[in-house]
Every structure is written in C-alpha cells, then in structure tokens.
Amino acid sequence: MPTGYNGKILRVNLTTGVISEDTPPEIVYRMYMGGSALSSYFLLKEQKPGVDPLGPENKLLFMSSVISGAPLPGLTRYTVAARSPLTGAFGEAEAGGFFGPELKMAGFDGVIVEGRAAKPVYLWIKDGKAEIRDASRIWGKDTGEAERLIREELGDNRIRVAQCGPAGEKLVRYACVVNELKHANGRTGMGAVMGSKNLRAVAARGTTRLSFADPEKVREIGKKVLEILPTSVLAQNLKKFGTPMFVMPLNNSGILPTRNFQKGQFEGAEAICGEKMTDTILVKSEGCYACAVQCKRAVKVEGKYNATPEYGGPEYETVASLGSYCGIDNLAAIAQGNEMCNRYGLDTISVGVCIAFAMELVEKGILTRKDTDEIDLRFGNPDAMLAMIGKIARREGFGNLLAEGVQIAAQKIGKGAEKYAMHIKGQELPMHDPRGKQGLTLSYATSPTGADHIEAPHDTSFLTDGPALKAAKPAGVLEPVSALEMGPQKVRLFTHTQAIWNAFNSLGVCNFAAAPYTAFPLVSLAEAVEAITGWNTSLYELMELGERTVTLARMFNIREGLSSKDDYLPDRLYESLEAGTPREKKFTREDFAKILRLYYEAMGWDPQTGVPTQGRLSFLGLDWLIPKK
C-alpha cells in the first residue's frame, strides 16, 4: 500500500465517455515521481509523434507528485502537459494554489485526458470517483462565473476548479489553465489544448487525508522549515512585496525588460514596483496550500481602472510584461490587465510580449492604425493594452492575429516583422534579460518548452558566497560565479541548478519555498520524500530525477523533429541595450555557441546535434528511448 500517494491515475476518454483507472507499478512512481517527468513518461510511451496539438489525439495530463499535498511549505504545485499548440514541442506548465493537493485527496495522483467531447463538458472528481458532466451552462463564461456555477451545481463551495477560460475555448495558442481564479499553469498553451477537447474545467473535492510513512518525521521537518523562514530575507520580502519586489533591483541593474527588449531601464519603474503596490492597491498577501511564504498578492482598484481581490494581483512577470515591456507606468491599468487575463485564461507573459511586438511594429511603420483596428497601439498607452487583451481573448480583428503568438503573427505580417518577434521555439520571452544574467542564455535556448525563466535559478543569486550558494552546496554548487561568465564555471552552475529546479518540477515543489532561494533545505527535502513515501532515498536520487526530467523532455522534442538548431537566441539579444546594462556586457554568437556546446557535453549529449547519447540514456534508466535498429 503506497504512502504519500494514491498509486492511481485517472484516465478519461472524452470521445467515448469511458473513465478508467491505471495503477502504475511502484518503480514508475520511483523513477519519475510526478509532475513533468511522469507526464513526459506517459506522452512518450503512449502518444504517437506528430499529432495535431489541437486535435483529439493529443493527450492532456494533469499530474501531481508522490509528495504533493503533504502539509509542508511549497509542496503544492502540479503540472499540466501536452504537445504545445504554441511551439509544437513539449508543452508543460506548473501552478500552485490548491488544485494539486485537492486532486490527491480526491483519490488520484494525476489525470490523463484523451479524445474530444462532442459538446462542452467538465470533469467532476470526488473521493475516488469521476464523471463527465455537461458544461453548456458555463461555456463562454469568464472564469469567476464558471467557478461559481460549478460550485453551485455541485453544492459545495470547497470544490477546487482548474479551467481553461474563454481564451482556451477560442483556442488562443497561449491560453492558460487557471485554478482558484489566480493560480495559472501559464505557459505553452495548455488552456488551448483543454479548449480543443471541449473540456472547460476539472473540478476536484477530496475528503480523505493522505497517509505518510513517518508522520512524526513529516511534522518535525515542517517545524524545522517554519523556524528557518524568519531568517530568510527573500522569504520575508516575498511576503511583504510579492514577486514585484524584483522590479527595482532589475531596473537598477539595467536589465528590466523595457519596450520589447530595446532597453533595460524604465523611467516609470518606481510607479509599478512591489513597494508601490504594497503602499497603494494591496489588500492582503496570500499563499498556496500549507505555505507560510505568502508571496501572492490580492489587490483592489476602483475608478477608471478596476481590479478585485478575487482575481489576486499581478506577479512580477505581469507587472513587467504589461508594464515596462509595453512602456506603461500605470499600476492600476496593469492590475486590471492582470484580472482580465485571469478572467479570460491568458498567459500574461505572452500577452504582453505580443502587444509590445505590435507596438514596436507601429513605431517602426510596419503596421498602421488601420491594421490594428484603429487602436492606438503605441508604447505607454494603457487603454490600448487593455483593449488588445480583450481582442486577443475573443480572437477579434487584429487580436485574432496576435492570438497566434509572435512567431506566427510575424510570419503573416512579413515586411521584416520577424526581427521584432521575441521568442524561442515559438514561445515568447519572459521578463528577464540574458544580457545581464548570462546563464539565462542556456535557460532560454535549451528549455524544451521554449524560452523559460524557471529552468534554473538565476545567476545573480550566486555572485557571492551568500545564502543561495550556501543552500545549494549540498547539490555540488560550491563557488561564486560572475553573472557575465560564459564558460565552464557557468555550465557547471547551470547544469547543477537546472537539475535542482527540474526535480522540483517533477516533485511539485515551489521554487520560492525551497533552497537555494528560501527555507526548505535540499537535504531536508530528500528527508521529506523518505518520510512521506517510505523510500530510502537521498539528494543524489533527486538530482538524478532532475536530469531525467530534462532528458525526457529533450527526447520528446527530438521525436517531434526539433534539433540543436532550435536552441537559439533572438538576434536582438546580441545587440547592446539602448539604455541600462553597460555595453561591455554584450555577448557574441561565438560566446553562445561555445557555452551551448559545453552544456551538451556536460549533459552527455552529442556536442553537434544535442541528442542524448545512448550511454547517458542508459545511465538514467531511459534505455527504452534508445531507437531500435
């Protein structure tokens, strides 16, 4: 009898209406543990290559982990995965909140959704049972109204709802999945996959407590982490200012993405920073299941612009993407834009990048107001930004083009528009500039999901022998490394920390609750896995899980036709910034090519093709992925 997890995966075929249960053997749970790795495992085992991401053959997976839902800080995240309609590559996004733990307590470690329903439906899961229910009443409703109607119909306000929103129904390629109206599986278009299946929501309710192999040890670890939290400066600042606390440090360092990566400093940064939010529109700080960090924002805005606490508040990525990146210094408008995205189910990063892309095209004379439905799409115009969010979500007019993402939009516009489309593999760049944190060149270029800012911790945390480096030492990160290093030291730092964070992606651990950033020590995390599951494990095994997670996603992409040619950076990132980071921080294509090759070699991948070698696949227990001759 497993402890900490259920040993059951729910399988739902929307085409046939058949619902069944899988009971993977313990070795599958031990090898992959959940989240990203377990999702990749099922996609590689069961799904044929080349399926239409928006077709019925694309499987959609909701995966928690073997430790999700334990009453410890940060063990709250879950994964949604499929082939991405935005990139055609591995699609994956994590979210915190309460849905992942609720799914576990409802009796299942994950859900595999297959096929396509003939009409709108939602999935209802409670205490080991599931049913497909009619969703015609909620189809077309915003996320708040849909959640209210589902809870009203099922007669329980404690039901947790993960849904795709109207943007997912309209197949916006970067539609997200959102739970509790504010916790988003934001990237890679998983909401569009959900919408393509006519699946509006998954509702879960569990009344059964999880059992643990050593409950006293779990309590002891929880007490230890809570004692450490007050000593973590980052944790305390996250509680006070949320992730928008990063606005001013990045702006002061000259690497706050501004006006479509043209600049690294924004003259309106102080008007949109975390301190300003706390002093003006913040109602309260919030957190996810069993987490004391409380980094989430709940804001309220009244007047010309409106936002309600029900939909939370903007994270750093949203403040930057709808703010500095679009040249907008109106915090109230940014808060409304965040709420609109949560109501519609849109990834705020991709939304902001698409809008800023269009703004620069207008600036360069490639687009006119006639092209943009007479909306004055210029940098600094908050009303234009808000109008375009609605048009994108509804696929109206010019918004229909931007709903395709910047890669496809640029190809359709032509006239040199591709130069201004900031993406990798089709996914829009996040709000961090690699010109000042050069380890991000590897994060962005090699991420299997396209440009991703949480592939590994950022360089700036390891400049000195400070708290982050001390916390990462058990994983072999031993020496400070310059943010501008582009050689062997950076590759060593990146491969080690990438393994840590990818292990988190499979275990469902929040980066802001655990080392190297905050309170949950890496060694204690390994002890927690053992106390929860009863497995005799170690940090070494978790680091190997992290590498296995990276490699599985890499193999998925290779099977889908991607190669080392897809590990690139947009041309703009090789240019000096107009303002911000000093010009001497510029790196060259030659610098990047050298560090990319070093990374391939460090991972045990072919240095020319980036394909994992047969020996490394065998070492990771992935010999089943070696092509048969």
**What single letter denotes the amino acid at residue 141?**
K
Select from 211, 164, 214 the least CA-distant residue to 189. 164
Q: Is the pLDDT of residue 131 over 60?
A: yes
pLDDT at site 587: 87
Contacts of 525 (CB under 8 A, 6+ apart): 507, 509, 514, 515, 539, 542
CA distance 519 to 229: 5
Closest CA to 296 of 271, 274, 323: 274
What whole-number distance in Å separates Cα of residue 437 and Cα of residue 526? Answer: 29
Q: What is the pLDDT of residues 24-64, one digit of tens each?
A: 999 999 999 999 999 999 999 999 999 999 999 999 999 99
CA angle 40, 46, 52 (to 5 degrees): 85
Return d(Cα 286, Cα 302) in angstroms, integer.
Answer: 21
pLDDT > 70 in the chain, percent: 99
**Is pLDDT above 70 for 581?**
no
Dist. CA 296–CA 308, nearest whole Å: 14
Whole-number average pLDDT of the chain:
96
**Please, which pLDDT band fits residue 230 given cuts at 50, 70 and 90?**
confident
CA 574, 575, 576: angle at the middle one, nearest 5?
Answer: 125
Strand order in the sheet with 78-83: 19-22, 9-13, 110-114, 60-63, 78-83, 90-95
Distances (CA, A) of 507 to 69, 77, 549: 11, 8, 10
* pLDDT, tens digit (0-9, with 9 covering 90-100), for 236-275: 999 999 999 999 999 999 999 999 999 999 999 999 999 9
Best CA proximity match to 316, nearest among 251, 412, 391:
251
CB-count burial class (<10 Å; 0-12, 13-18, 19+) for 155: exposed
Torsion angle of the four alpha carbons 319, 348, 577, 582, in this order, in degrees rounded to the nearest 10: 50
Work out the average pLDDT over 539-552: 98
Locus of tokens 């940090």: 539
Q: How far apart are CA 178 and CA 393, in angstroms?
A: 15
Q: Please report, rounded to a whole number, the percentage of residues in the chain having pLDDT higher than 90.
A: 97
Q: Which helix (H) or strand (E) holds 121?
A: strand 121-126
Residues in the chain: 629
Q: Which residues pair with 491 in a beta bridge?
A: none
Q: Output the pLDDT for position 627.
A: 85
Distance (Å, whole) CA 88 – CA 65 = 25
pLDDT beyond 60 at 582:
no
Task: Answer for the pair 477, 454: CB distance below 8 angstroms, yes or no.
Answer: no
**Cβ 4 vs Cβ 214: under 8 Å:** no
Q: At what angle are helices 35-46 and 488-507 packed, to 10 degrees? A: 80
How much is the pTM?
Answer: 0.97
Sort strands 9-13 and 19-22 into parallel, antiparallel or unpaired.
Answer: antiparallel
Task: Dump pLDDT digits (tens) for 340-356.
Answer: 999 999 999 999 999 99
Sheet holding 129-134, edge to edge: 129-134, 121-126, 199-205, 160-163, 177-179, 183-185
> Which DSSP symbol is given to 520?
B
List, in sequence order, every residue forming a beta bridge with 296; answer none if it has no partner.
286
Estimate the crossing angle of helix 406-413 against helix 348-363, to 10 degrees. Answer: 20
Report how far apart, in Å, the C-alpha atoms of 275 and of each of 247, 287, 293 are.
9, 18, 17
CB 284 within 8 A of CB 444: no
Q: How many CB atoms lie within 10 A of CB 113?
A: 24
Residue 485, phi then psi, degrees to nearest 5: -65, 135
Helix (H) or strand (E) holding 190: helix 190-196
Q: Would residue 509 be called left, alpha or beta, if left means φ above 0 and alpha means ψ between -120 and 50 degrees?
A: beta
State the alpha helices, DSSP H only, in 289-329.
Answer: 316-322
Q: What is the pLDDT of residues 109-120, one digit of tens each?
A: 999 999 999 999
Which of the four pLDDT bands, split at 50, 70 and 90, describes residue 218?
very high
Angle (nearest 5°) at CA 34 between 30 and 39? 115
Domains of the chain from N-terminus onward: 9-205 (3.60.9.10), 244-426 (1.10.569.10), 440-518+538-625 (1.10.599.10)
357 vs 418: CA distance, rounded Å: 10
